[in-house]
Copies of this chain bind each other. A is one copy, B any other.
Amino acid sequence: MSDFLQSCFLEANRSVTPGGRPNGCPVLLGCPYDGTASFRPGARFAPAAIRHASQGLESYSPNLDLDLEDISFQDLGDLELPFADQAKAFSIISSHVDTILNQNNISVVLGGEHTITIPIIQALLKHFPSVIASEAKQSSALKIIQLDAHLDLRDDYLGDKTCHATVMRRISELVGWDNILQLGVRSGTRQEWQLATNHHTIGKLDDIAHWVGADLSCTPSVYLTVDLDVFDPGVMGGVGTPEPGGWFYSDFLQFMKQLHSIHLVGLDVVELSPHYDPSGASSILAAKVVRELILLL
């Protein structure tokens, strides 16, 4: 019945397929897991908030001159994840991402907290196996660009090895330091900053193309993980750990320009904690970021 609400361009169970769904279309998957949040929980509410906020946005992006109505994508809805059993939660996430990849589609995961990037990368690495990049060291074919206020490079946090404060340390063990680029970072312990400095992971916006193409012996596949606290708390107050001094939307637009020449094989948008921003502006910004990134894919 055409009278029913359809104005939300992101919605669970939606399958948009103009002209038959080809391979390689973005598939949204909500992972409302926030079991390790140490400061302010609530990322579990993010996927629903992003879908709701998308009602206030157009499906057309004047910046990219592209419209969600002209492309194929699907929204699988939200996984039901046990908060107190991380291993099981990770296993569920990993297997669903694996299924998406097996269907030759691109996973676009809505967190949840940043920790969920670990099982996603684990699933991706099955499809983008390690290669010999040089004589001296082995490297994966998967490169990771991280937008984040925090380095997330602790080895453990209160004894916990896999939590939002250690996520990039674990991922460095999966893909190697050379395959990590950190943008927008402005917080960490002294030890984390020394690690990042030693391994040259902290980049600048105009480094991206150079960094990605540094190893020309293979076509680099890039995974993008967006911790929304990369934005300034003034425009993104609804996150678990706001950190002053971040990006505004103009910085994100500049980043988007850098992405044009890059081959993205998956992405996640994490750490929105919508209840902390009663204006809803954080959720709307998150939804706009998701729209732009889907269109770019």
Contacts and interface: CB of A to CB of B under 8 A. Distances in A.
Interface of A: 1, 3-7, 13, 32, 34-42, 44, 48, 52, 55-60, 62-63, 65, 67, 76-80, 82-86, 88, 92, 96, 158-160, 162-163, 186-190, 193, 232-235, 237-238, 241-246, 248-250, 253, 275-282, 284-285, 288
Contacts of A32: 5
Given A279-B237, A279-B277, A162 B60 contact: no
Contact of A162 (B42, B79, B84, B248): B84
Contacts of A57: 187, 243
26 contacts: A4-B76, A4-B79, A4-B80, A5-B32, A5-B79, A34-B41, A37-B41, A41-B41, A56-B241, A57-B187, A58-B187, A58-B188, A62-B188, A62-B193, A63-B186, A65-B190, A232-B235, A233-B279, A233-B281, A235-B244, A237-B277, A238-B279, A242-B280, A242-B284, A243-B284, A275-B275
Given A187-B58, A242-B280, A279-B277, A84 B163 contact: yes
A202 to B, nearest CB: 9
Chain A interface, >50% SS class: loop
A159 to B, nearest CB: 6
A197 to B, nearest CB: 10
Nearest to A59: B189
B85 A160 contact: yes
Contacts of A58: 187-189
Contacts of A39: 55-56
A22 to B, nearest CB: 21
A285 B233 contact: yes
A224 to B, nearest CB: 18
